[in-house]
Structure 1
Amino acid sequence: MSIFSRIAGLLTGGAGAVGAAAANLRAALAALSDSDLRRQAAFAIAMIALSAKMAKADGVVTRPEVDAFCRMFTIPRGEEANVSRVYNLAKQDVAGFETYARDVAHFLADDAGMLEDLLDGLFDIAKADGAVHERELSYLARVAELFGFDEHAFARISARHILGNGGDPYLVLDADPSWDTDRLRRHYRKLVSENHPDRLIARGVPEEFVRIANDRLATINAAWDRIEATRLSTPA
């Protein structure tokens, strides 16, 4: 059974309104005895619900944003309706996004990596129409705050998405420009290892979301390429 079918099962029994859906899902997740399944379901629900709510953060749902949402998933045939059910319930009330963010922060409190994966996915949705709009950025900053990320961490994450060409390459890598090239290279290789898609799956992110890790790794590689090219072209 896919994670989406399991989520559909959690939605049965009175989840006819957004507020009721949030409360019912919170209780159903807490009741799951399998901790791995609970984490996977919490991640998937948060990704769907927070994506749906953010789609109206700039005042309108655009087709590129909806398409980007669909591309975030490798949706098994026949599961589209289950995903759409969560999406449609959540998008009815943008004001309720903080409830979902607080809930997933609670369920994934011991894994900042999974919470960062969620933020990366939300940024991908936000920039699908070509730009991250001011209200979307405010939305993402608030979600990051509820997830427990400080301003520097949010700046590092957002640099991967909104500053163009991968943003400030040193900020993307969370590296100090004063480091020598050997230290930077070791740091870069460590990031590549830590952000390999297999690591994402191993820590509990549903495999349907592996694109998040692929995109992040590509950005890390691009940032390193820019740093390396600049240093090679600069006389010692």
Structure 2
Amino acid sequence: MHIFGKILGTFFGFLFGGPLGALFGLFLGHQFDKARRLNQAGFSRGGFGGAANQAEKQQEFLNSAYAVMGHVAKAKGQVTREEIQLATVMMERMNLTASQKNAAQEAFRTGKSTDFPLEDVLRSVRVSSGGRHDLLQFFLELQISAAFADGSVHPSERDVLHRIAQGLGFSSEQLEQRLRMQEAAFRFHHGGFEQGQQSGHQSTGGWQQASSASHLADAYKVLGVEESADAKTVKRAYRKLMNEHHPDKLMAKGLPPEMMNVAKEQSQEIQSAYDLIKKVKGFK
């Protein structure tokens, strides 16, 4: 807990200005403590744009991602075991070093604080990325994944996600579209596992047909298109998403190399959804 600045500010404020001075000193001390906490979590006051080199910018991108993730996790009041587990799994998937894990954990804790300056951090992310749509979208999708850690999005989490989307330059409609796609991806991933398990048995009938139909419907939602879409529309949506999520292209635009595996998994999910639609509908 950072209270050293508040204590000193209040003391000297009262010493030189009485009760009003103490209040002003408390305010200044609070600002000092907040800046100190952010600095220890790995953020710079100038944002990523003030980082000395690309490696520092990428490290700040990582720290910001985990800090905002912590803020999303805290949105509904209590951070769940699934959300903590997701942050841990993400660290493992990114193969973070011990020091990077410590920084990510500290950033996650910082994000949970009640006075976390969300808009300031998002502004830094936006400036540092040069406004690159793909990077900002990747950042937003990480936060949506955090919200879906327990399988659903709480209304308070949705509200925070709207603030995050706005801070990154996305509209409410764009966020809602991404939420629908992420929810479908969550079901598609788990449904695919269950369907694979069922394929080893002889069970058939209405339930299996309904399950297959639901799985196909989710595949369309993963691509962000209607089930009535023709082959041309499906292919165009698939190519757009693959272009936006291509790991090499994201890396070239400044994505931290530690996030490469996450980008690969996203592109693989898009590919799997497209392959299923092609197979069922006979697209070429």
Answer yes or no: same fold by TM over 0.5. yes
Kindly state the Cα deviation for residue 197 of structure 1 after the two structures are TM-superposed: 2.2
Seq. identity, %: 26
Asked if structure 2 preserves the Cα contact closer than 8 Å seen for 1:30 and 1:38, the reply is no
Between 120-129 and 94-103, the greater mean CA deviation after superposition:
94-103
Query: Of 124, 136, 139, which aligns to 1:115?
Result: 136
Residue 55 of structure 1 is matched in structure 2 by 73
Kindly state the Cα deviation for residue 176 of structure 1 after the two structures are TM-superposed: 6.2
Kindly state the Cα deviation for residue 171 of structure 1 after the two structures are TM-superposed: 4.8
**1:26 correspondence with 2:21:** no
Asked if structure 1 preserves the Cα contact closer than 8 Å seen for 2:73 and 2:79, the reply is yes
C-alpha separation in 2, matches of 1:64 and 1:190: 31
User: When the two structures are superposed, what TM-score results if normalisation uses the length of structure 1?
Assistant: 0.76
Kindly state the Cα deviation for residue 204 of structure 1 after the two structures are TM-superposed: 1.2
Tell me, what secondary structure is at the counterpart of 1:114?
Answer: helix
Residue 248 of structure 2 is matched in structure 1 by 198
Residue 67 of structure 1 is matched in structure 2 by 85
C-alpha separation in 2, matches of 1:155 and 1:171: 12
Kindly state the Cα deviation for residue 70 of structure 1 after the two structures are TM-superposed: 2.0
C-alpha separation in 1, matches of 2:237 and 2:72: 33
**1:100 correspondence with 2:121:** yes
Asked if structure 2 preserves the Cα contact closer than 8 Å seen for 1:159 and 1:168, the reply is no
Q: Which has the larger radius of gyration?
A: 2
Cα pair distance change 1:213/1:79, threshold 3 Å: closer
Kindly state the Cα deviation for residue 219 of structure 1 after the two structures are TM-superposed: 3.2
**Bigger fraction of residues in helix:** 2
Tell me, what secondary structure is at the counterpart of 1:72?
Answer: helix
Asked if structure 1 preserves the Cα contact closer than 8 Å seen for 2:223 and 2:270, the reply is yes
Residue 129 of structure 1 is matched in structure 2 by 150
Between 213-222 and 133-142, the greater mean CA deviation after superposition:
213-222
Query: Of 238, 262, 271, which aligns to 1:212?
Result: 262
C-alpha separation in 2, matches of 1:196 and 1:170: 19
- Gaps of at least 5 residues in structure 1 are 1-14
C-alpha separation in 2, matches of 1:72 and 1:205: 15
Q: Which amino acid aligns with 1:128?
A: A
C-alpha separation in 1, matches of 2:183 and 2:233: 27
Kindly state the Cα deviation for residue 72 of structure 1 after the two structures are TM-superposed: 1.7
Matches within 5 A, 1:146-225: 146-163=167-184, 164-165=187-188, 169-175=219-225, 180-225=230-275
Tell me, what secondary structure is at the counterpart of 1:105?
Answer: helix
Kindly state the Cα deviation for residue 59 of structure 1 after the two structures are TM-superposed: 1.0
Cα pair distance change 1:221/1:94, threshold 3 Å: farther
CA RMSD of aligned residues (A): 3.1
Residue 4 of structure 1 is matched in structure 2 by none
- Gaps of at least 5 residues in structure 2 are 1-30, 190-216
C-alpha separation in 1, matches of 2:116 and 2:145: 21
Q: Which amino acid aligns with 1:116?
A: Q
Tell me, what secondary structure is at the counterpart of 2:260?
Answer: helix
Cα pair distance change 1:78/1:20, threshold 3 Å: closer
Between 214-223 and 172-181, the greater mean CA deviation after superposition:
172-181
C-alpha separation in 2, matches of 1:227 and 1:151: 28
C-alpha separation in 2, matches of 1:186 and 1:25: 40
Tell me, what secondary structure is at the counterpart of 2:125?
Answer: helix
User: When the two structures are superposed, what TM-score results if normalisation uses the length of structure 2?
Assistant: 0.65
Kindly state the Cα deviation for residue 140 of structure 1 after the two structures are TM-superposed: 0.9
